[in-house]
């Protein structure tokens, strides 16, 4: 007898301790990179990136690449959004952007000629499906001209779609164009919450797209949810969760809404008086964790859940999980090449970010230069700490011996101050430390950002400020 993954109750993978969360929640990085993007410098530029790629070639790198493409356009603005986007109904702007984007892709393709095998592609935004079906087909053909894509059974090729603007026919077309994973923005099914954030999205639109994706044999469908939006409460969250569980996506991302109107102008349209308080948000988070794990989802880490049959859950079990600018990933050894405005590449031991405005982007490419405006070249300490943070974020444990084998350090002396900080977290029940392992407890998993912050050297000189979201 075949048992559906949705009928199986996953092993407990996280423990919610409200008192501990109240005590320790603070502002802190999400560690999609280390060092974090706010540490990038404009002293790093285009030629530094060229040098990093040349170093890969000299070392004879044969690892497959991860490719990210940023499409910044949206038809309408969602008030909670903190992404780099351009809201316009003028479709001509997308055509101009795509012509420049294709030039950047060509430049990157030439740079990586001979080491351009792609095993992971993600189109994000904005709304990538803002561009037409014909434009998407042309873009994918162009990408496949300049990069060698692994077969569908090996590669992970994902795209973010807006169920309000995508039909079942478009879902089928995207599958033909090479995508095998879909990510759907939902946030909340409650119409009152949707109106409060200017994202009216009837439930049937989301369910229709999930059904269409299943019919087209997409390998994975993921849904994004947010808790802490105006008008939300435990009752509305319970109703949304019930509908999500019934729909059965392979992955669920449950984000804590960070209200930072001083950084993101659209959020100024959200009335703070309508936002749920801290206790209400904790109640919603506790409810979501309980309902999702009871339904068979595995807590991957941070804000991610997946069915035990999903590649993310399997990669975590096998110690292959990785974290990058798109969140958790199964491709740990891949350098990331990113194209489009504001996109961030991670090549060798460097990070490089593109300019954030269309005018600056077009100006750089008109000069036949990659539009890199800032970045960072990591030293040995950065690389070491990045590895530690990655292991803790992805595996919830760290082998001290493995670090001492890979790097010329004695862990206890090199990280003497950090171990003192960890011992304080140990007293709070977040970690267990012995001579060989640092292990995150079930209680500590929800506060993994707090644990990783102990190893962040940059926070020692410049503490976490309001540019970061709360750790819970």
Is residue 4 over pLDDT 50?
A: no
Query: What would you report as the CA-atom Rg of the chain, rounded to the nearest whole angstrom?
Result: 22
Band (pLDDT 50/70/90 cuts) for residue 291 is very high
Exposed (0-12), middle (13-18) or buried (19+): which is 1, by Cβ within 10 Å?
Answer: exposed
What is the percent of the chain with per-residue pLDDT over 90, rounded to a whole number? 84
Count of CA atoms in the C-beta half-sphere (13 A) of 14:
29
Q: Determine which of 318-322, 363-367, 385-389 has the lowest per-residue pLDDT on average.
A: 318-322
DSSP 470: B
Q: Which residues of 333-346 are buried (b: 16+ CB within 10 A; e: fewer)?
A: ebbbbbbbbbbbbb
Stretch 414-418: mean pLDDT: 97
- DSSP for 116-150, written as a single string: -EEEEEEEEES-GGGS-HHHHHHHHHHHHHHSEEP
What pLDDT, on a 0 to 100 scale, did the predictor assign at position 6? 44
What pLDDT, on a 0 to 100 scale, did the predictor assign at position 465? 57
Q: Determine which of 6-10, 187-191, 310-314 has the lowest per-residue pLDDT on average.
A: 6-10
Is residue 26 over pLDDT 90?
A: no
Band (pLDDT 50/70/90 cuts) for residue 245 is very high
Stretch 421-441: mean pLDDT: 96
- List Cα–Cα distances, 434 to 73, 399, 418, 422, 423, in angstroms: 50, 10, 14, 11, 10
Band (pLDDT 50/70/90 cuts) for residue 439 is very high
Full set of structural domains in the chain with CATH: 10-35+379-463 (1.10.10.920), 39-337 (3.80.30.20)
What pLDDT, on a 0 to 100 scale, did the predictor assign at position 11? 61
Q: What is the pTM of this model?
A: 0.93
Stretch 40-50: mean pLDDT: 96
Is residue 448 over pLDDT 80?
A: yes
Band (pLDDT 50/70/90 cuts) for residue 467 is low
Tokens read off for 241? 């969760």
Angle formed at CA 441 by CA 435 and CA 444, multiple of 5 degrees: 115
What pLDDT, on a 0 to 100 scale, did the predictor assign at position 211? 97
Specify the residue for token string 């000629």: 113
Residues 6+ apart with CB under 8 A from 376: 35, 39, 40, 41, 44, 350, 351, 382
Specify the residue for token string 């659209």: 266
Q: Determine which of 128-132, 284-288, 450-454, 458-462 has the lowest per-residue pLDDT on average.
A: 458-462
State phi, psi for 432 to the nearest 5 degrees. -125, 130
Count CB neighbours of 412 within 10 A: 11
What pLDDT, on a 0 to 100 scale, did the predictor assign at position 329? 85
Over residues 178-230, the pLDDT tens digits come to: 999 999 999 999 999 999 999 999 999 999 999 999 999 999 999 999 999 99
What pLDDT, on a 0 to 100 scale, did the predictor assign at position 5? 42
For the four alpha carbons of 243, 211, 250 and 193, in that order, the dihedral sign comes to negative
Over residues 149-184, the pLDDT tens digits come to: 999 999 999 999 999 999 999 999 999 999 999 999
- Report the C-alpha gap between 301 and 316 in whole angstroms: 10
What pLDDT, on a 0 to 100 scale, did the predictor assign at position 2? 33
Q: How many helices (H) and strands (E) does the chain have?
A: 17, 20
Is residue 466 over pLDDT 60?
A: no
State phi, psi for 336 to the nearest 5 degrees. -110, 125
More confident residue, 255 or 329: 255
Q: Determine which of 2-16, 33-47, 109-123, 378-392 has the lowest per-residue pLDDT on average.
A: 2-16
């Amino acid at each position: 007898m075949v048992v559906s993954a949705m009928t199986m109750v996953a092993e407990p993978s996280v423990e919610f301790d409200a008192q501990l969360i109240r005590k320790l929640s603070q502002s802190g990085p999400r560690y999609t990179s280390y060092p974090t993007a706010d540490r990038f410098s404009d002293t790093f530029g285009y030629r530094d990136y060229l040098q990093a790629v040349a170093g890969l070639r000299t070392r004879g790198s044969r690892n497959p690449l991860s490719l990210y493409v940023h499409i910044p356009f949206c038809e309408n603005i969602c008030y909670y959004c903190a992404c780099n986007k351009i809201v316009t109904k003028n479709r001509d702007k997308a055509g101009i952007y795509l012509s420049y984007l294709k030039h950047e892709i060509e430049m990157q393709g030439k740079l990586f000629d001979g080491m351009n095998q792609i095993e992971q592609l993600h189109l994000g935004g904005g709304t990538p499906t803002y561009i037409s079906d014909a434009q998407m087909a042309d873009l994918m053909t162009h990408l496949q001209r300049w990069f060698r894509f692994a077969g569908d059974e090996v590669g992970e090729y994902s795209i973010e779609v807006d169920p309000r603007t995508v039909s079942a026919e478009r879902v089928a077309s995207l599958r033909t164009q090479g995508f095998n994973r879909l990510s759907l923005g939902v946030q909340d099914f409650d119409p009152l919450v949707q109106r409060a954030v200017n994202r009216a999205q009837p439930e049937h639109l989301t369910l229709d797209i999930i059904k269409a994706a299943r019919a087209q044999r997409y390998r994975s469908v993921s849904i994004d949810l947010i808790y802490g939006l105006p008008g939300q409460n435990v009752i509305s969250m319970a109703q949304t969760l019930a509908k999500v569980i019934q729909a059965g996506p392979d992955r669920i991302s449950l984000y804590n809404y960070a209200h930072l109107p001083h950084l993101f102008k659209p959020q100024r349209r959200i009335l703070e008086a309508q936002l749920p308080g801290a206790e209400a948000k904790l109640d919603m988070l506790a409810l979501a964790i309980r309902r999702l794990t009871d339904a068979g989802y595995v807590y991957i880490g941070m804000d991610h859940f997946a069915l035990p049959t999903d590649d993310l859950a399997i990669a975590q079990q096998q110690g292959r999980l990785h974290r990058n600018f798109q969140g958790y990933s199964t491709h740990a050894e891949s350098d990331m090449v990113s194209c489009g405005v504001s996109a961030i590449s991670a090549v060798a031991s460097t990070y490089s970010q593109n300019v954030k405005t269309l005018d600056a982007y077009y100006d750089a490419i008109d000069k036949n230069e990659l539009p890199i405006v800032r970045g960072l070249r990591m030293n040995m300490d950065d690389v070491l700490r990045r590895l530690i943070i990655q292991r803790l974020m992805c595996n919830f444990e760290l082998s001290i011996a493995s670090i001492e084998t890979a790097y010329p350090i004695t862990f206890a002396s090199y990280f003497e101050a950090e171990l003192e900080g960890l011992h304080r977290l140990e007293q709070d029940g977040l970690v267990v430390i012995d001579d060989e392992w640092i292990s995150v407890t079930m209680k500590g998993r929800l506060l993994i950002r707090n644990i990783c912050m102990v190893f962040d050297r940059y926070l020692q000189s410049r503490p976490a400020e309001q540019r970061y979201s709360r750790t819970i």
